[in-house]
Structures are given as C-alpha cells and as structure tokens.
Amino acid sequence: MDKQKKKSKNIIKALFAFLAILILVLVGATVYFYLTGEGDFFNTEEETVTCACYYIDPEVTTTCGDTKRGFKFNTSEGLLGECSASCPTTELSTDMLYSNSDQDDYLTCSLTFVENTQCSNMEVKTEDGLIVTGKISPDVPIVITATFDSADYSNHKFLINNVPTEPDSVNETTASISISDYEDASTLLIVAQAENNTGDTVGSEILCKRLIEITTTAEAGVSNLAMDTYTASDGLTKIKSTVIKAGGLDQEAESRLEFSFEGQTLTMNNGFEVNSTSGEINIDELDLYDSNNFSGSSFDVLNNYTGEIEVTVEVFQNDTSLGTATTTITIEEPVDTGKDPDADDEPIVEEPATESAFSVTKTSSMSCVERVSPDNRTEFTLTITNGGENTNTIESVKDKLPLGFSYIAESSTLDGNAIADSIFVTTTQVGDSQEVVWEPENSWSIPASGSITIAFEASIGENALSGENLNEVIVTPTELPADPSTLRASSTIVVAQDCDNIDVDNTPQTGIFDTTLGRIVAGLFITLIGVIIYKSNQGTQLANMIIHSGPYRDAEMASYKVFKPKKYFEEKILERRERER
C-alpha cells in the first residue's frame, strides 16, 4: 500500500512539474510578444488621440469622405472614442471665402482619429486673403501656407501635382508658396512636407493635402473644331469623329450645335456628349449620320459634295451662343468599288477583323518595402506597347494591387503628365486589397511601334503579407488581341520588417506550439503521462486523492455556497458534527 501511495505522489509531482513548465512557457511567450510590440494589453491607461472636422463646399462635392476636398480643418484632443471637434457653419463668412455658396449650405464632416499631425494646418488663399474652397479660376493666383508642429524641421517642400517645389519662404514652423501659372492643368494636388532631424519625411495626409480644380470661363468660347474623315467601304468619304473644344461649358444646360457649310445649315439637338471638365463636345460617326439627332437633314447631305469644304460650328447653351469654330475637310470623289448597288443577291464578304498586338510590362521603383514611413511607398510603372503595323486603341488598364497595398490618390501620370483621378481613375476595394482602373472617355490611341506609360504610387499597410507579393496588370484593347497572353504582366515586390536585413523565411511564430516539432513533443508527453497512469492501475486512486484533497473540497464548498445554498449549510452542519465527535 505504501508503495502505491508513493507511486501516486510521484505521478502528482510529475503533473505539477508539467504544469509549472507550461506556466513558464506562457510567461515567456507573454514577455516575448510584449517586447516585439504586441504588448498593448499591459497598458491600462486610456489613449488620447487627435480628432478633427472639416468644411466642404457644395459646389465642389456634396458628400463627406474625401478629405482632400476639405478647405478648413479644426482639430481637438480627447480620449479614443470620445474625442470630438467642432465645425459650426456660423464660423464661416461669405466675405472670407472664394465661393458663391450660401453660408448654411456648407457641409461639415467629422474624423474620429487623425493619425499624423506633424503638419498641423494648410491654408490655400487668393492674394486678397479669400479662402479657396476647392475651385479657382486660371487667372487668379493663390498663396499656400503650411504650418508644422516643430521649428526643428528642415527641407520644407510642396508637392504640386507630384512635382517637388521649393517654398518661397520658411519662417520657423510655417512654409509658404505662391502659384500663378497653372500650365493648363485641370487640377492641382497640393501636399506639404518637411524632414525631421533623422531625415525622415513628416507631414499629414489629412490636414496638409488639398485638391483644387482649375475652372474654365465662358469667355474662352469655342476654340477648335476637329473632324476626322476616312473612305468607307462604299467609296464615300465619311466623318469618323468630331471634337469641339469650348470653355465655360455647363454640363446641365440645354445645348445645341449648328453646323454650316456651302450655304447649308444642320441643327443638331441630340447625339453629342458635353464634358465640362475637359472642355470638350464629342460626336461619334453614327450620331453624325442619324437624322433623329437633327432638326432636318443629317451629315448624309455631304454625299452630294466633293472637294474641300469649310465647316463652321456654333455652340448654343440655353439659347446663348458660346462662339464658333471652323475647320476644312476634303470630300473625295466616290471610289468605284466594282459592286452593283442593285445586285442585292450578291454575297457580302466580310473583311477579317483587325487584330491588335499590344504588350505590357510592369516595374517598381522599390524592390523591397517596409510597413512604416518613409519606406512604405513605391512607384509602379506600366508600359503598354503597340507591336502591330497599324494604329490601335485600348479601352482600359487594370492593376490588381497585392493584399494590404493602397493606391495613393492623384498620383497617376500619363507619359510624365499628371492626370486627374476624377476623369481617368477608378479604385475598387476588394477585401483588404484594391483594383485600380485607368479608363479614358474615348480610348487611348497608340500608333504602330508606339507606347504609353502610366505611373502611379502605392502605400503598404500593416496587413501586407511578409515576403514576395505578386502585382498583376491587365490591358483591355478595343480590337481583338492577336495574343491575349501579352496583355497581362506581373511584378514581384518584397515586403519585409527591415529591407536592409531581409529574412523572409525567419518570421516570428505567433503561438507556443506553432512548430510541428513542438506539437509532436507536447502530444507525446501528454500521451506518456496517460499511459503511465493507466498501466500502473493508479488512475482511480489518483482521482480519489484529488477528490478528497483539501483544495478540491474548498472549491466544492465555494460552488455550493453560490449555486446550492441549502447543500452548503447541510455540509457545514455535517462538518461541525464530525469535528465535535
């Protein structure tokens, strides 16, 4: 009997030893995760954050969400989840704003958390001191002033449409620049930045980033008329497309076009597209020859003309003329195709469809990126080349960013020139990644052996996967592709904790038994204990020892006291009687 008790005690000692080892492992894991940045649970203090609100001009946009469209920010500090900033419209005055909106029409938007306030404020004003709310005329100069939270920063600069520009003046915590030449740009994306004493870039993607539209004026009038002609299969000269350049276009106005040539006037009421942003009116071939779009005859009347013809267009909006423009087209003598127009029974032989021969390549300015600024950004370059013998067009270009990568708004350029997101770019959130699509209104035309280059920037978030990330681009041509495989390309970029010491395979384990060896050892150990207890026939005795042990009895009585009060008092009475005996 003494021998059995001794074995039971040894087993209990082994179990307690195993429990002690588990506790030590758990303590070690807790210390490890705390030292590697996962120890926020030790911090019991409530976190203080910066929140903000901002104003939106309804003439610019009618929804919140795009902070670049805000023209005035107010910030505040408070506890996370309780912080609130105030932006009453009574704070605005129409005589301080470069806008025609009424005071009560301005929108106010809230931000519960502003991650970076190193650049704490940026103002865009006219030379007269009026705050620019989002739109500016091309003949009105602006003054930009950015305020930083420290006078120790250096190398202040402004990014104007992604072009680094030196400020005109820097005074302790502020930097200023004046802009009067907009170089025919339709928008201005303005970002203020500086460098701290370690050379890192400082700023704020929310408080110091603005998007300003350059508006056109009606006085610019109609500036150009372009008509592209070709010889159709029936031998007649046709107008393939028509583009009218005009300033001051109103997208919502009632418009009409009056074409005149050789004593003939054609009034077009429908079938054309007015784009006030680009200042263009576009007409496709089918609409030019559709009589339903005209008050009388369509451009079919040109079938009766030959030689050079001067065509003039006058643009009307709400019965007000914006001006005229003139171009000259040449109508060739009809070509005899050798086909009898009355022979309806002749079979029609369709010409084979034109095939495109585009190819695309993709490169990245960084082969490795990290998850923290300033090494968490890269520039991707997409090059689309026409390898065919004819001029062909592409409808769109799609880039599937890797998990955790985000497109940086207004960072796109086409052949080195900035292009506006509102016209060309659409981003779609797909889970934790994004799809970016560049799609022009009238397709991109690329001549034989020619190419176009699209460049854009992306940032890398905390949920990006460590190691190699695949980034794919897809080109959609107008014509059928000769080889669809050339329309896809991909590039690989590495995400690492430290790009100077890349060790992708040696990532920290997130669990105690994440390794296969650890799980096998633990399983064998537990199984061995079970076999020892079972084979030595000490299982029942061990259970009885545990049941009749003091700690077990105390735990049992505590549960009776809470859940079974009657049982608790009965047991207490029995215990007292046992002691009295």
DSSP summary character for residue 299: G
Give the residue from 483, 501, 519 where a domain finishes.
501
- What is the band of 6 on the pLDDT scale with cuts at 50, 70, 90? low
Domain identity same for 376 and 312: no
Return the bridge partners of 206, or none: none
539 vs 335: CA distance, rounded Å:
106
- What is the band of 467 on the pLDDT scale with cuts at 50, 70, 90? confident
Residue-level length of the chain = 581
Query: 98, 133 in Cβ contact below 8 A?
Result: yes
Picking from 106, 67, 66, the residue whose alpha carbon sits closest to that of residue 87 is 106
Is residue 395 in a domain?
yes
Residue 460, CB half-sphere, CA atoms under 13 Å: how many?
27
pLDDT tens, residue by residue, 285-335? 888 888 899 998 889 888 888 889 999 999 999 888 888 999 999 888 876
> From start to end of 215-285, where are the E strands?
222-231, 237-246, 255-261, 264-268, 273-275, 280-284
Tokens of 134: 């989002």
- What is the band of 524 on the pLDDT scale with cuts at 50, 70, 90? low
495 vs 369: CA distance, rounded Å:
5
Which has the minimum average pLDDT: 28-37, 86-95, 230-239? 28-37
Task: Tell the residue number behind the tokens 């002690």, with chain if given.
Answer: 20
420 vs 413: CA distance, rounded Å:
9
- Tell me: pLDDT of 445 over 70: yes
Domain carrying residue 234:
224-331
Domain identity same for 69 and 207: yes
The whole-number pLDDT of residue 508 equals 42
Picking from 417, 418, 435, the residue whose alpha carbon sits closest to that of residue 426 is 435
End-to-end Cα separation, the chain, in angstroms: 28
Give the residue from 472, 501, 530 where a domain finishes.
501
Domain identity same for 259 and 158: no
Is residue 346 in a domain?
no
CATH of the domain at 434: 2.60.40.1510
- What is the band of 385 on the pLDDT scale with cuts at 50, 70, 90? very high
Domain identity same for 52 and 197: yes
The whole-number pLDDT of residue 444 equals 84
- Burial (CB count within 10 angstroms: exposed 0-12, middle 13-18, buried 19+), residue 568: middle
Average the pLDDT over 429-444 and give the result: 81
Is residue 85 in a domain?
yes
Domain count within the chain: 3
- What is the band of 277 on the pLDDT scale with cuts at 50, 70, 90? low
Domain identity same for 458 and 370: yes
Tokens of 338: 């050798």
State the pairing for strand pair 209-214/135-136. Answer: parallel
pLDDT tens, residue by residue, 13-68? 656 666 667 676 666 666 555 555 444 444 445 678 899 999 999 988 888 888 89
Domain identity same for 370 and 445: yes
Domain identity same for 392 and 264: no
Domain identity same for 200 and 240: no
CATH of the domain at 100: 2.60.40.10
Residue 319, CB half-sphere, CA atoms under 13 Å: how many?
0
Domain identity same for 415 and 445: yes
Query: 130, 101 in Cβ contact below 8 A?
Result: no
Is residue 533 in a domain?
no
- What is the band of 183 on the pLDDT scale with cuts at 50, 70, 90? confident
Neighbours of 315 (CB within 10 A): 24
Is residue 345 in a domain?
no
The whole-number pLDDT of residue 8 equals 57
CA 456 from chain center: how many Å? 11
To the nearest whole number, what is the mean pLDDT of the chain? Answer: 81
Q: Is the dihedral of CA 503, 505, 511, 516 positive or negative?
A: negative
Q: Which residues contact 435 (CB under 8 A, 6 or more apart)?
A: 398, 399, 400, 401, 427, 428
pLDDT tens, residue by residue, 470-495? 888 999 888 888 888 888 888 888 88
Q: Which residues contact 66 (CB under 8 A, 6 or more apart)?
A: 211, 409
- Tell me: pLDDT of 207 over 90: yes
Domain identity same for 428 and 376: yes
Domain identity same for 67 and 209: yes
What SS3 state is found at 42?
helix
- Tell me: pLDDT of 186 over 70: yes
Picking from 8, 122, 147, the residue whose alpha carbon sits closest to that of residue 70 is 122
pLDDT tens, residue by residue, 526-556? 766 666 655 555 555 665 666 666 777 777 7
Is residue 289 in a domain?
yes
Domain identity same for 436 and 306: no
Give the residue from 501, 526, 561 where a domain finishes.
501
- What is the band of 437 on the pLDDT scale with cuts at 50, 70, 90? very high
Average the pLDDT over 238-252 and give the result: 84
Neighbours of 244 (CB within 10 A): 24
Is residue 553 in a domain?
no
